[in-house]
Amino acid sequence: MAFDITGMMGKVKELQDKMQQAQQEIQHITATGESGGGLVRATASGHRKLIKLEIDESLLTPQDREMLADLVVAAVNKALDEAAELARQELQRKTSGLMPNVPGLDLSGFGV
């Protein structure tokens, strides 16, 4: 079986196009994490950036300041983890079938 460089280059170009399209679509993905039973809610983008933070007014007292910080950290981390997973799934969907399944080939650096 001969190696088809033209076919391989076509696949690479197709993969690049799909990756670019997926990256553009990821910007519209959002995920929300909450902590404290919903007292703190953080929303992150598919590019793992915090875009919204909601804090229940009941936590805005001086004695709750330390707990508030802990709840914010927990909610933000949950949102970022969820956004990263949704982005990974979107990239995987867009590039499915374009790359050969090669054991040991790690494409995680490409977001796949």
DSSP string computed for 12-48: HHHHHHHHHHHHHHHTT-EEEEEETTTTEEEEEETTS
Q: Is residue 59 part of a domain?
A: yes
Number of domains in the chain: 1
Q: Is residue 9 part of a domain?
A: no
Q: For residues 31 and 17, which has the higher predicted lDDT (pLDDT)?
A: 31
Q: Is residue 45 part of a domain?
A: yes
Q: Is residue 105 part of a domain?
A: no
Residue 38's pLDDT is: 93
Q: For residues 83 and 95, which has the higher predicted lDDT (pLDDT)?
A: 83
What are 12-20's contacts with CB under 8 Å, separation 24+?
14/98, 15/95, 15/98, 15/99, 18/94, 18/95, 18/98, 19/91, 19/94, 19/95, 19/110, 19/111
Any idea what the CATH number is for the domain that residue 64 is in?
Answer: 3.30.1310.10
Q: Is residue 44 part of a domain?
A: yes
For the question of whether the overall pTM of this predicted structure is more than 0.75, the answer is: no
Q: Is residue 61 part of a domain?
A: yes
- Domain that residue 35 falls in: 28-97
Q: Calculate mean pLDDT across residues 62-77.
A: 87
d(CA 87, CA 65): 33
d(CA 10, CA 16): 10
Residue 110's pLDDT is: 53
Q: Calculate mean pLDDT across residues 98-104.
A: 57
